[in-house]
Amino acid sequence: MDKLLIGGGGPLDGEIRISGAKNSALPILACTLLADGPMSIGNMPHLNDVTTMLALLRCMGVGITIGEKMCVEIDANALTELTAPYELVRTMRASILVLGPMLARFGEANVSFPGGCAIGSRPVDIHLRGLEAMGATIEVDEGYIRAKSDGRLKGAHIFMDVVTVGGTENLVMAAVLAEGQTILENAAREPEVVDLCQCMVAMGAKIEGIGTSTLVVTGVEKLIGCHYDVMPDRIETGTYLVAAAATRGRVRLKDTRADILEAVLLKLEEAGAELSYGEGWIELDMKGKRPKAVNLRTAPYPAFPTDMQAQFTAMNAVAEGTATVVETIFENRLIQIHELNRMGAQITLEGNTAIITGVERLNAAPVMATDLRASASLVIAGLCANGDTLIDRIYHIDRGYECIEEKVQLLGGTIRRIAV
Ligand code: UD1
Taking the centre of ligand 1 as the mean of its atom positions, its distance from the CA of residue 14, in whole angstroms, is 34
Q: What is the pLDDT of residue 115?
A: 67
User: Which residue from 24, 29, 162 has its CB within 8 A of the most atoms of ligand 1, so it is best to mutate?
Assistant: 162
CA distances from 16 to 53, 255, 282 (A): 26, 9, 11
Taking the centre of ligand 1 as the mean of its atom positions, its distance from the CA of residue 75, in whole angstroms, is 28
The protein residue with its alpha carbon nearest to ligand 1, atom 9, reads: 23
Taking the centre of ligand 1 as the mean of its atom positions, its distance from the CA of residue 279, in whole angstroms, is 30
User: What is the model's pTM?
Assistant: 0.97
Q: Given the CA of residue 300, which atom of ligand 1 is nearest to it?
A: 14
Q: What is the pLDDT of residue 114?
A: 85
The protein residue with its alpha carbon nearest to ligand 1, atom 5, reads: 165
Distance CA 320, CA 358 (A): 6
The protein residue with its alpha carbon nearest to ligand 1, atom 12, reads: 307
The protein residue with its alpha carbon nearest to ligand 1, atom 26, reads: 122
How would you class 105 by CB atoms within 10 Å of its CB: exposed for 0-12, middle for 13-18, buried for 19 or more? buried
Identify the band that residue 332 occupies on the pLDDT scale cut at 50, 70 and 90.
confident
Taking the centre of ligand 1 as the mean of its atom positions, its distance from the CA of residue 360, in whole angstroms, is 35
Average pLDDT of span 138-148: 94
Q: Given the CA of residue 190, which atom of ligand 1 is nearest to it?
A: 14
Q: What is the pLDDT of residue 116?
A: 61
Identify the band that residue 362 occupies on the pLDDT scale cut at 50, 70 and 90.
very high
Q: What is the pLDDT of residue 419?
A: 86
Longest alpha-carbon distance in the chain: 64
Residue 309 pLDDT > 90: yes
Q: What is the pLDDT of residues 189-218, one digit of tens each?
A: 999 999 999 999 999 999 999 999 999 999
Ligand 1 first shell, C-beta below 6 A = 23, 26, 94, 120, 122-127, 162, 164-167, 192, 306-307, 329-330
Give phi and psi for 20, each to the nearest 5.
Answer: -65, 155
Q: Given the CA of residue 97, which atom of ligand 1 is nearest to it?
A: 8
59 is catalytic: no
Q: What is the pLDDT of residue 337?
A: 94
Taking the centre of ligand 1 as the mean of its atom positions, its distance from the CA of residue 166, in whole angstroms, is 6
CA distances from 236 to 55, 270, 302, 402, 416 (A): 24, 20, 17, 9, 19
User: Which residue from 48, 89, 165, 231 has its CB within 8 A of the most atoms of ligand 1, so it is best to mutate?
Assistant: 165
Percent above pLDDT 70 for the chain: 98
Mean pLDDT of the residues in the chain: 95
Average pLDDT of span 290-310: 98
Q: Given the CA of residue 307, which atom of ligand 1 is nearest to it?
A: 12
Beta strands 214-218 and 206-208 are: antiparallel
Distance CA 89, CA 75 (A): 21
Identify the band that residue 117 occupies on the pLDDT scale cut at 50, 70 and 90.
low
Q: What is the pLDDT of residue 37?
A: 95
Distance CA 322, CA 306 (A): 20
Q: What is the pLDDT of residue 63?
A: 95
Q: What is the pLDDT of residue 237?
A: 98
- C-alpha closest to that of 275 among 288, 286, 263: 286
The protein residue with its alpha carbon nearest to ligand 1, atom 32, reads: 164
Distance CA 364, CA 396 (A): 20
Dihedral sign, Cα of residue 52, residue 409, residue 230, residue 64: negative
Identify the band that residue 69 occupies on the pLDDT scale cut at 50, 70 and 90.
confident
Q: What is the pLDDT of residues 153-190, one digit of tens each?
A: 999 999 999 999 999 999 999 999 999 999 999 999 99
For the beta sheet containing 72-75, the strands, ordered from the edge strand earlier in sequence to the opposite edge, are 63-66, 72-75, 39-42, 227-229
The protein residue with its alpha carbon nearest to ligand 1, atom 3, reads: 307
Residue 376 pLDDT > 70: yes
Average pLDDT of span 60-72: 91
- C-alpha closest to that of 26 among 150, 205, 192: 192
Peptide bond before 302: cis, by omega within 30 degrees of 0?
yes
Set 59, 117, 226, 403: catalytic member:
117
Give phi and psi for 332, each to the nearest 5.
Answer: -125, 35
Residue 96 pLDDT > 90: yes
Give phi and psi for 300, each to the nearest 5.
Answer: -60, 155
Residue 68 pLDDT > 90: no
Taking the centre of ligand 1 as the mean of its atom positions, its distance from the CA of residue 22, in whole angstroms, is 14
Residue 307 pLDDT > 90: yes
Taking the centre of ligand 1 as the mean of its atom positions, its distance from the CA of residue 365, in whole angstroms, is 32
Q: What is the pLDDT of residue 139?
A: 95
